[in-house]
């Protein structure tokens, strides 16, 4: 919905001055989708009392965010910062879901 509305808002409200809004909006949509995936996986891990695992993955994701955002600041396009966030969320979601698969497969099955 937002992806379809952005060009209309750019033309009618902003006078067509921000052509980079459409690709930027797409990157933000991807970021929020990945954030949702990471949130669900980390919540399930916390419910399974895997606090140390959640902390370790959050610390690793935080370090990756600092590095990638620092690199993104040196690039001219604003999209580079959002792309850095997308990459960090992709790393975070992958780490959480990998650990979640291990935690679920190691639980004893009830009869």
- Tens digit of pLDDT at every position of the chain (111 positions): 666 777 777 677 777 777 777 778 888 889 999 999 999 988 888 888 888 888 988 999 999 999 999 998 998 878 889 999 999 999 999 988 888 888 888 777 665
pLDDT value at position 90? 94
Burial code (b: 16+ CB inside 10 Å, e: under 16) for 15-46 equals eeeeeeeeebbebbebbeebbebbeebbebbe
Domain spans, the chain: 21-106
Tracing tokens 């979601």 back to the chain, one arrives at 93
Under 8 Å CB-to-CB from 48, ≥6 apart: which residues?
Answer: 103
């Amino acid at each position: 919905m937002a992806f379809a509305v952005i060009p209309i808002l750019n033309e009618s409200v902003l006078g067509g001055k921000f052509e980079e809004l459409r690709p930027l909006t797409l990157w933000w949509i991807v970021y929020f989708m990945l954030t949702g995936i990471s949130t669900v996986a980390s919540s399930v891990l916390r419910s399974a009392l895997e606090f140390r695992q959640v902390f370790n993955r959050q610390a690793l994701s935080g370090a990756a965010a600092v590095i990638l955002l620092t690199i993104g600041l040196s690039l001219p396009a604003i999209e580079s910062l959002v792309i850095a966030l997308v990459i960090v969320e992709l790393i975070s979601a992958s780490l959480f879901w990998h650990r979640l698969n291990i935690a679920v497969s190691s639980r004893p099955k009830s009869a």
